[in-house]
Structure 1
Amino acid sequence: MPCHPARARELLGSGRAVVARRAPFTIRLKDRSRAGSAVPGVQLRLDPGSRATGIAITDELPRIVAPEGRGALVRRGLIGIELRHRGGQIHTGMMRRAGYRRRRRSANLRYRAPRRDNRSRPDGWLPPALRHRIDSTTSLVTRLCRYAPVLEIHVEQVAFDTTAITAAAMASGPRDPEPTHAGSDIREFLLAAWKRSCAYCGATGVRLNVEHVIPRSRGGSNRVTNLVLACIPCNQAKGVTCIEEFLVDRPARLESVKNQLRKPLHDVAAMNTTRLLLVKALATRGVPVHTWSGGRTAWNRQVMRLPKSHTLDALATGGFPRLLRPRGKIHHGYSTGDLVAALVPRESGPASGSGASRSGPVVSTASQR
């Protein structure tokens, strides 16, 4: 069970515990077992993503909330991890291997006919780039369940409706007083895709409108491949002109916008494909798994005024009580919980009887020292 860093130093100093793992820093008691201890347990929360997954270990305790003076359930974040996936690298490697095989077949075996795509695949098969996301997440969850008494797993399960994204993109634009769920999803998708900045000038921190790259008067559609975010001055200046005419004096910006519009739904397709299989794989760990919507996570994060990140999204996943924010200590640029690797030289003195100097790596955490 996670404890305070001061308590961990006391247990290590007295010899009652030993270091079991450096990252995350884990100690193991030597004088008693779990059967003879009272362990309340912790919760494991996940925010799956196409390129990175946020993982947080939390505990929830009833406490008296000041100044109201009434009881409330308080959640405390113990460990935060951001797992970055290598799906893009795996896809590139698979395409490179396919090119090697294609070239070898055409160079050495010209008489051989191309092999048809008639090979059967087992149920639940996924491409290696997508299977990696599930395997790496479940592997890390299994290790964390060994280091901490995890009683529940909470997963944010987001389903993107691609039909609503492409067919009803402008059904609830910024001028609609009552936006629908599909409209809010498409706007949130564009905000994440364009990093909350104007696609034409890169301005941030201003009001952004949903903009058609090819105007509707010139045959443009409401698909995501034809939508960007633009600030009000750029939106008014562009008007009904095409993007080639509007950015004729900025070719670098024009090429950047076109490159990002070529494959806008790859991340969405990856999330829709792996969301159910990830929950199914986590359910085999013998721990109850609870799923929550992405809207609930966003609401919890906005109420607590937390910045956008994968680890904080994992912390806000699920029914959200009061959030207990720990006070982070900073000493000489190091914060609580930082993993530090130091090379400390030691020169032997007259008392040691040796004239040689030695040095060795010392690894510790800022929460210990």
Structure 2
Amino acid sequence: MEKESVQRVFVLDKNKQPLMPCHPARARELLKKGKAAVFRYHPFTIILKDREGGDTQPIQVKIDPGSKITGVTLVGDFKNGKKVIWGAEIHHRGQSIKKALDTRRGVRRSRRNRKIRYRIARFDNRKRSKGWLPPSLISRVENILTWIKRIRRFSPITGISLELVRFDTQKLQDPEINGIEYQRGTLYGYEIKEYLLEKWGRKCVYCGKENVPLEIEHIVPKSKGGSDRISNLTLACHECNQKKGNQSIEEFLTNNPERLKQIKSESKRPLKDTAALNATRWYIFNQLRGNSLTAGKEELPIEVGTGGRTKYNRETQNYPKKHWIDAACVGESGQNVQIEPDMQVLEIKAMGHGMRRMCFVDKYGFPKKYRPKERTYMGYKTGDIVLAVIPKGKNMGIHIGRIAIRHRPSFLLNGVGDVHPKYLTLLQKNDGYGYQIS
């Protein structure tokens, strides 16, 4: 009997139209018999040589946007229920983009203060367009849109489900701001507690226990003037919560000054990730609803859900906390979704298409080297995925990995070392992402 826990393989007909994803065993059989060929390695896709068209079942792509990691799953609607047939987690590079821009800004400002060649400031003649987002946030949005477009090319998608998460920062600062309205309903408290779980790493801040029921705890007890502001809330196991009682945190952690210092610093952590999600949520929704994904195709219906609904669906089905599982549980359609416990997931890491910097500088801001003008050499580019068949030497054997080109016939292959291009076969061109199955 075929094992259902592995990821399905995307299938295209001879006209490159998407068909229903198949089991890897079926894909291997088609490849072995010569009825199909490999179209793409990540995500693995085959193309049929003779078949044209075919029956398909409804498939919904479900998205759980995140500041650092976004979960994406495909859920098929079969006769025996809804099943997750493919899952992925997209790792964003927003922080690295921000760091690079900060470095560039610092170098330019330092040049302007020295009596050398400098770049003239142009802030007086620049105007931001309506709906402008900083590059670090645009990167997150474009990663999501890019992969929805790709998935739609490889799979017969019939709908989109998006977690339109909104962290009300005013409510995070004062959970009782709306009075009794947030004290009613099945989902009461899920947004606040979910934020605290993410902030404090899903463990007791006092003893470090994980995988135990956690309770919301006031750092400064209410009996001593503590408030319900999010900066005064943390998570503790029942035992530590009872043991602390109405003691101040200084009294309770007298013998553990390191943990006391850590909790105090974490409680004042800015709401940076929360702000990123709030700033991009409607932008993503409008792009999905607009024409950016519907060129030549009909517009797909979009289902939206809150973060509280996602957590409620996940916990009622006893699924662990993972980004791709959260994606499967988004919205009302995430109530009864079947997920195999050892489901394989594609880890997608945004890496960029190459260095945009034209000049590298030393710590004083002076040029030390320049980027080569040519981005390719002998038909290869840094980041390409290749098959290396090395007939002799210490690296003899068959290897698959990414290469870094040099402008001489000696490339660097991940995990192997120097390889001559004559031993390489291109499997997939660099598309700005790194891949790993987990």
Equivalent in the alignment of 2:79: 62
Match of 1:305 among 289, 311, 318: 318
Instruction: Tell me if structure 1 keeps the 8 A contact 2:94–2:139.
Output: yes
Q: CA deviation at 1:234?
A: 3.5
Name the aligned partner's letter for residue 150 of structure 1.
I
Change beyond 3 A, Cα 1:208–1:360? closer
Alignment of 1:1-369 (within 5 A): 1-34=20-53, 37-63=54-80, 74-108=81-115, 119-168=126-175, 183-216=189-222, 218-283=224-289, 284-286=292-294, 287-288=299-300, 289-318=302-331, 319-320=333-334, 322-325=336-339, 359-361=397-399
Equivalent in the alignment of 1:332: none
Q: CA deviation at 1:20?
A: 0.6
Change beyond 3 A, Cα 1:183–1:76? closer
- Counterpart-to-counterpart distance in 2, 1:209 and 1:252: 22
- Counterpart-to-counterpart distance in 2, 1:105 and 1:248: 51
Instruction: Tell me if structure 2 keeps the 8 A contact 1:169–1:224.
Output: no
- Counterpart-to-counterpart distance in 2, 1:268 and 1:207: 24
Q: CA deviation at 1:361?
A: 2.7
- Counterpart-to-counterpart distance in 2, 1:260 and 1:210: 15
- Counterpart-to-counterpart distance in 2, 1:29 and 1:179: 51
- Counterpart-to-counterpart distance in 1, 2:400 and 2:103: 41
- Counterpart-to-counterpart distance in 2, 1:95 and 1:81: 31
SS at match of 1:165: helix
Change beyond 3 A, Cα 1:313–1:205? closer
Q: CA deviation at 1:205?
A: 4.1
Once the two structures are overlaid, the 10-residue window that deviates more, 294-303 or 229-238, is: 229-238
- Counterpart-to-counterpart distance in 2, 1:118 and 1:263: 35
Change beyond 3 A, Cα 1:191–1:124? same
- Counterpart-to-counterpart distance in 2, 1:113 and 1:218: 56
Q: CA deviation at 1:227?
A: 1.5
- Counterpart-to-counterpart distance in 2, 1:120 and 1:180: 46
Q: CA deviation at 1:308?
A: 1.1
SS at match of 1:93: helix
Greater relative contact order (Cα 8 A, min sep 6): structure 1 or 2?
1
Q: CA deviation at 1:285?
A: 0.6
Number of aligned residue pairs:
332
The percentage of counterpart residues that share the same residue type is: 39
Instruction: Tell me if structure 2 keeps the 8 A contact 1:164–1:182.
Output: no
Name the aligned partner's letter for residue 288 of structure 2.
L
Change beyond 3 A, Cα 1:13–1:235? closer
Q: CA deviation at 1:178?
A: 5.9
Equivalent in the alignment of 2:352: none
Equivalent in the alignment of 2:368: none
In the TM superposition, what whole-angstrom CA distance separates every residue of 1:59-91 from its partner, at most 9, and x where no partner exists?
Answer: 11123xxxxxxxxxx112121101111222222
Instruction: Tell me if structure 1 keeps the 8 A contact 2:191–2:308.
Output: no
Instruction: Tell me if structure 1 keeps the 8 A contact 2:217–2:234.
Output: yes
SS at match of 1:296: helix
- Counterpart-to-counterpart distance in 2, 1:182 and 1:326: 29
Name the aligned partner's letter for residue 74 of structure 2.
I
SS at match of 2:208: coil
Which blocks of at least 5 consecutive residues in structure 1 are unaligned? 64-73, 329-334, 348-356, 365-369
Once the two structures are overlaid, the 10-residue window that deviates more, 227-236 or 115-124, is: 115-124
Q: CA deviation at 1:223?
A: 1.6
Q: CA deviation at 1:138?
A: 0.8
In the TM superposition, what whole-angstrom CA distance separates every residue of 1:297-347 from its partner, at most 9, and x where no partner exists?
Answer: 22322232211111111122231464445586xxxxxx97899x9999889
SS at match of 1:221: coil
In the TM superposition, what whole-angstrom CA distance separates every residue of 1:230-272 from its partner, at most 9, and x where no partner exists?
Answer: 2344334545554344434323212321332222422221111
What TM-score comes out, normalization by structure 2 length? 0.65
Name the aligned partner's letter for residue 159 of structure 2.
E
Name the aligned partner's letter for residue 303 of structure 1.
T
Equivalent in the alignment of 1:350: none
Which blocks of at least 5 consecutive residues in structure 2 are unaligned? 1-19, 348-385, 402-426, 428-438
